């Protein structure tokens, strides 16, 4: 015949299982939000060696440079988890936070980021301003204001987007260089076609890295599988394989 366990034993068992569940949950949360370093992310050299990126379908106007391919990565993940010297926030003109990646970065960095942003006086389209990273694993955040895409004035949109990438890279250099992680600027609610924006990102980066050695790694952080595929399709034209 079944006899109920004494109260003091059931109490201990309940506490034990509750503690086990809490510990397991904490471990899952820690593993899913642990900072990701550049060393954990494959470079273009790695991806070419593993045949994860196809060779260019047309002849590239750029030459193969092993030293450049080892400084560029494409990573599908959460930019707020990237351990970098600088991550690039696709901000609005106020620099006070918004939706999408902008809001995610502000939430992850904590209220100190907003307080510092309030001292910056906003920024114009194409400009970049730098803050500390606070609770982010990244040391600093480069807040850049991307253009709202204009089909009727696509040339101006392209120049402004190029400025976002160039000034962000310059900001990284001016703050000691190292690893910079880019979000996909202007391709969300600002409506910039992803393929066109990717070409600008890659070309601007290529030209910058050819003349600069302080930025040791550029990581394009993408959210969707399709954007990752677009980067993989287009990157051989700017950073060819051997």
Q: Return the domain boundaries, the chain.
A: 1-33, 37-237
Question: DSSP string of 178-207?
Answer: EEEEE--TT-STT---HHHHHHHHHHHHHH
Question: DSSP string of 36-78?
Answer: EEGGGS--HHHHHHTT-SPPPSS--SS---HHHHTTEEEEES-
* pLDDT band at residue 32 under the 50/70/90 scheme: low
Whole-angstrom CA distances from 218 to 31, 32, 73, 87 are 24, 23, 6, 10
Q: Which helix or strand (DSSP H or E) is residue 7 part of? A: helix 7-33
pLDDT one-digit tens code per residue, 113-149 = 999 999 999 999 999 999 999 999 999 999 999 999 9
| Sequence-distant (≥ 6) Cβ neighbours of residue 12 within 8 angstroms | none
| Contact (Cβ atoms closer than 8 angstroms) between residue 203 and residue 238 | yes
Give pLDDT, residue 54.
81
Cα dihedral 221, 227, 228, 234 sign:
negative
Q: Which helix or strand (DSSP H or E) is residue 174 part of? A: helix 154-174
Structure tokens at 162: 């190029």
CA distance 145 to 167: 11
Q: Which helix or strand (DSSP H or E) is residue 142 part of? A: strand 140-145
Q: Is the pLDDT of residue 41 over 50?
A: yes
For residue 150, the SS3 value is: coil
* pLDDT band at residue 242 under the 50/70/90 scheme: confident
CATH 3.40.220.10 for domain 37-237: yes
| pLDDT higher at 110 or 55 | 110
Comparing CA positions, the residue from 210, 204, 218 lying closest to residue 84 is: 218
CA 156 from centre of chain:
25
| Contact (Cβ atoms closer than 8 angstroms) between residue 166 and residue 205 | no
């Amino acid at each position: 015949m079944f006899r109920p366990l004494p109260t003091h034993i059931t109490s201990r068992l309940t506490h034990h299982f509750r503690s086990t569940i809490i510990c397991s949950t904490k471990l899952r949360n820690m593993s899913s939000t642990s900072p990701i370093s550049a060393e954990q992310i494959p470079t273009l050299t790695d991806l070419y060696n593993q045949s994860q990126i196809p060779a260019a379908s047309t002849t590239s106007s750029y030459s193969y440079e092993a030293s450049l391919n080892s400084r560029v990565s494409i990573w599908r993940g959460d930019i707020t988890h990237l351990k970098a010297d600088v991550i690039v926030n696709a901000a609005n003109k106020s620099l006070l936070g918004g939706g999408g990646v902008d809001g995610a970065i502000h939430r992850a960095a904590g209220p100190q980021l907003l307080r510092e942003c309030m001292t910056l006086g906003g920024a114009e389209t194409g400009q970049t301003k730098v803050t500390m990273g606070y609770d982010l694993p990244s040391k600093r955040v480069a807040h850049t204001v991307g253009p709202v895409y204009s089909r009727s004035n696509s040339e101006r949109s392209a120049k402004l987007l190029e400025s976002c990438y160039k000034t962000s890279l310059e900001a990284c250099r001016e703050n000691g260089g190292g690893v910079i992680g880019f979000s996909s600027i202007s391709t969300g609610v600002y409506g910039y076609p992803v393929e066109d924006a990717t070409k600008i990102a890659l070309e601007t980066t290529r030209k910058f890295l050819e003349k600069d050695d302080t930025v040791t790694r550029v990581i394009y952080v993408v959210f969707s599988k399709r954007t990752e595929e677009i980067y993989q399709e287009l990157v051989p034209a700017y950073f060819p394989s051997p």
